[in-house]
Structure 1
Amino acid sequence: MDQVKKNIRQQQQYSKRRYDRHRPNIQFIIGQKVFIIKPGMHPAFRELYEGPYTIIKQLGPQTFDVLDVHDNMKRVHSSQMKPFLERE
């Protein structure tokens, strides 16, 4: 049983390393504007992102509170956010 637990832990660590290798490490800061992925929408049929939202608070290393233009707040993970770049 101990060997089974050890093998499971090793496989979990391997899977995390493999996932993290292809995950961009984008840093977000308070006050930055971002787009949020629309849940359940397929990009072939609808817009994939909504926003822009403004980051108002960082709750953890990857969790943020964001505010839209109508003062509606959402709590999102950084994997659901994309930086908003304003055109000049």
Structure 2
Amino acid sequence: MYGREPKLPFNRTTTTFTITTPNDYWIQLNRLMQTYKQVARRNIQLRQQQAKIRYDRNRSDPVYKQNELVLWRKPGRISKFAERYSGPYVIIQEQHPTYIVEDTDTLLRKQVHINDIKPVHERII
């Protein structure tokens, strides 16, 4: 694709790779593959930690208390002009990051994730 041959881990020549019987090749190959898997696993874990740090740096972490009014985001795809949130709901039980909320009109309860709710800012008229 870029006009050159790719460098693969198997293309690297080692100076200590000696084969006396056909079974030795299989043993050496398994050791080499285990080493590559360990390095890849460590690299993935490091990248996951770095991604989490970057994500958490700009993320707000709201905490809601009992009897607080919140709006719940409607699931699924909705049209452009439809309401995205419904409510208000009252928080009944807090189990951060999930909350049990109750509809103020129908008294139906549901468990929602913190990403799907936002606080109600009341206006005094």
**Structure with greater contact order relative to length (CA < 8 Å, sep ≥ 6):** 1
Q: Which residue does 2:112 correspond to in 1?
A: 76
- CA shift, 1:12, in A, is 1.0
TM-score by length of 1: 0.89
- Which amino acid in structure 2 is aligned with residue 64 of structure 1? Y
> Between Structure 1 and Structure 2, how many residues are aligned?
87
Q: Please list every run of 5 or more consecutive structure 1 residues that lacks an aligned counterpart in the other structure.
A: none
Q: Please list every run of 5 or more consecutive structure 2 residues that lacks an aligned counterpart in the other structure.
A: 1-36
Secondary structure of the residue aligned to 2:71 is strand
Among candidates 72, 88, 92, match of residue 52 of structure 1: 88
Q: Which residue does 2:123 correspond to in 1?
A: 87
Aligned equivalents of 2:58 and 2:122: distance in 1?
A: 26
Q: Alignment RMSD, CA only?
A: 1.4
When you count strand as a share of all residues, which structure comes out higher? 1
Runs of 4+ in 1 over 3 A off after TM superposition: none
Secondary structure of the residue aligned to 2:107 is coil
TM-score by length of 2: 0.64
